Structures are given as structure tokens and as C-alpha cells.
Amino acid sequence: MAALALISCSCLALRVAVEVQRNLEASPSRAARAFIDYTWSGGGIPGVLAIAQPADEQGCRRRLVLPLGFEEVLFEGDGSQSEQPTCRYRVTERLGLLSGEMLPGSHSASVEFGAPPAGGGGSSLRWSVEFDVIQRQALWQRVTEATISLAADSLEHYLSAPLLYERRLILPSPPLRTSSPTPMPSPSPQTALDAWLECVWARGEGLPLPPPLHLERRADGRVIERMVLPPGLREKVVSMQEAPEENAAGAGGGDTRSGAACLDYRVLNPGWLTYPVHAHRGTVRFRRDAEADALEMRWIVAVRPYRGCGPLVKAFTSLIIGALTDAYCTKHCEKYGGAVNERLAGGEGSASSGGLGAGLGARWSVFNARRDGGARAELVRRMDRPAGPRPVQFD
């Protein structure tokens, strides 16, 4: 009887077929890996939760999709071997809305990554889904088109060029004071970075918020992981390069103030309720500016915002970094005197500034691999890959 019922349903089957195409700003292999790491893991469709399940007997990835209530298995493709990889998956269990309407074994889907049309950069995406239902074919056609299109749009945005925020300013050397027999020494890059870690990182001065919670310290006592409340944002220093020790001058006769000190940090828990970005990486560097006889501070942040969240992320990031930089520069000028000059982020000219908000030395741009080299390109690479042992090296 069961076989007869299945044959009867097959005769009445209505086909749902959807194909979505997109052009992506990534190579085919990287796009395929992003599909596995991001889309297959549940990214891209708000309100849909993908719960990883134990692999099947063949070692294929499985997931439970809620609230739709069906199980899918990814049985082909990991995106790492082929020049034009293809990922294939199918529905194996119908536990929810589709349980009484999709014919068993009728579902198949493929996600193909190939060269873009006209030989341009990046890759092309073709996402095809087919299955049979016994009723409401028009409804399931529209639902499938909407969900696959939304997931493809989110993957396209996930792989889009990141945004870069850069801020550069000059911290002056202490002015000569005739009343003092011994002038105050100019701070070294390492001294400036240590002060930044204490003022900005550990205390969060300049923000109308409680001091950050300290979650992890180095052996020397410096805070490397913190949580900002609200919104519960966790950030961690992932690498640090210290300037030469001051006793190096005594040993070798060099300038103790030369060299550079820098660090890299990243957001550990980006999300809708903390910081709506797919990925984040920041770097801060202090170096001696010989021409100005002063310190240059350079702060760069690379982010890839969620779809539709670019303006919010830009405004929030500019506001926070502006407030933190204001507080740090105020502390510096109180201790060493002088006035801060804020350089244009493009490296052209400078602007004198007393209070530093999102001033003239700050710039937002879209990362361009052909135009942006040096520290910007390295920062973007590290945003998408595991951290290296050393911070970003500036040009």
C-alpha cells in the first residue's frame, strides 16, 4: 500500500525549480570555502538556524535547518581542490513544513563556482534547487526563490570588498622649557603604545561607558582581552611588536626613540547585538617621525559589514575611535605639552586639531587590491585568515 501511495503521489507531483546566479568578488575556490564556512553554517538568512549534526556514514556534513524543520546533507565538494568547484546537497529528512508536501528523494541542489563572464576577476555563482511537491507548488516556488536569493545575496556581500577606516595624527615632542634645567624626554614609540594600552584599551577613556572588563592579561600584566559593556563586545590583542629596548642605545649608541611599536586586535564576537560585521581587524602603530621630530600614530580598521549595515558600522566605528583618540591625545598633551596635528589619512597635508573627533585625519574607503598595498592589504589578508605571529608591517 505504501508503494502504491508513493506511485500515486509521483503521478501528481508538481516540480519546483529555482536557479540563482551572482558574480562574486572572490576566486572560485575561496567562494566555495565561504559557502561551506558561512552559508552552510547558517549565515545569510535572518531567523534561520542551521544546527550541525554528526557526519553520516560516508563522512558527509549534515545540518538541521530550523524552523523549517528538515535535515540536509552536503555530499560533494569542499571547495579546495577544483578550479571550478561544485557543492551538492539534498534534503534527507522532512520533519516540519515540508514533511507532508515534498516527495521523498526528490530534492537535489547544486552550487557551482566558475569563472566570471567576459574573463573578469572574481567568480560566478550558479545555485540550482529542484524538488517535487504534491500541492501548493506556486507557494513553494516563491518561498524557495526568496530564500535562495537572500542566501546568495548574503554570500555575495560576505565576499565583497571590505571597508577601511584609517586615522593618522602627529603627537608632538615636549616643547623646550627655559625654566627647566633638564628638558622632559620625548616619549618613545613603545612608551606611547604602553600609554595607549592603558588609556584606550584597559580603561576605555573617552567613552560614556563603564570601564571594560579585563578578561585576559599577559605575563607582564598588560590587558590583551577585554569586554565592552554594553553591548558585550569582546576584543583581543592578537599580536604585538615592541620597539627596541631603551637600553639598546646604551649598548650600541643608537637613538632610543627610533623604531616602531604596534599591535593587531580583532573583535571576537561580531553579531547583530554587538557589532554587525562578518569580519574585523584593527592595527595601531606608533613610530618616530624624523621630519616633525614627533610621534606618528596610525590606526587602521578593516571591516566587512552585514548587508545593509555599512552606514551604521561606519558611523559607530568613527564615533568610537574618535572619542578614544580624543581622550588619548588629551592625556598626551597634558603630560608633554604641545598641540596635536592630524594628518590626512591619504598622507597629504595636515590639520591642527585641539579636540579630535572624526576629524580631517580620518578617512573611509573601499579596499581596492590594485590601489591599496602595504599595511592596508596585509590587514585585509589577516582579517580573512588566522593571525600571524607579528602585527601588520607598515609601509
Task: Assess whether the region 9-158 and the region 163-245+256-384 belong to the same CATH fold.
Answer: yes
Q: Identify the burial level of 389 via C-beta atoms within 10 angstroms of its C-beta, where 0-12 means exposed, 13-18 middle and 19 or more buried.
A: exposed
- For residue 33, the 8-state DSSP code is H
Class of domain 163-245+256-384: alpha beta
pLDDT score at 223: 92
Among candidates 285, 286, 288, which has minimal Cα distance to 265? 285
Cis peptide before 231 (omega within 30 of 0): yes
3-state SS, residue 360: coil
> For 379-388, what is the mean pLDDT?
70
- At 303, the pLDDT band (50, 70, 90 cuts) reads very high
Select the more confidently predicted residue: 249 or 140.
140
* pLDDT tens digits, one per residue of 18-62: 999 999 988 898 899 899 888 988 877 777 888 888 887 778 888
pLDDT score at 292: 62
> For 310-315, what is the mean pLDDT?
95
Residue 4, pLDDT > 90, answer no
Stretch among 50-54, 126-130, 311-315 having the lowest mean pLDDT: 50-54
Left (φ > 0), alpha (ψ -120 to 50) or beta: where does 10 sit?
Answer: alpha
Scored b (16 or more CB within 10 A) or e, 186-219 reads: bbbbbbbbbbbbebbbbebbbbeeeebeeeeeee
pLDDT score at 80: 52
- At 304, the pLDDT band (50, 70, 90 cuts) reads very high
List the chain domain ranges.
9-158, 163-245+256-384
Q: How far apart are CA 21 and CA 31, in angstroms?
A: 13
Class of domain 9-158: alpha beta
* pLDDT tens digits, one per residue of 323-370: 999 899 888 877 776 555 665 444 433 443 333 333 347 889 988 877
* pLDDT tens digits, one per residue of 73-102: 998 765 555 678 999 999 987 666 667 788
Among candidates 17, 65, 31, which has minimal Cα distance to 152? 31
> In angstroms, what CA-CA distances link 161 with 114, 223, 302?
19, 32, 10
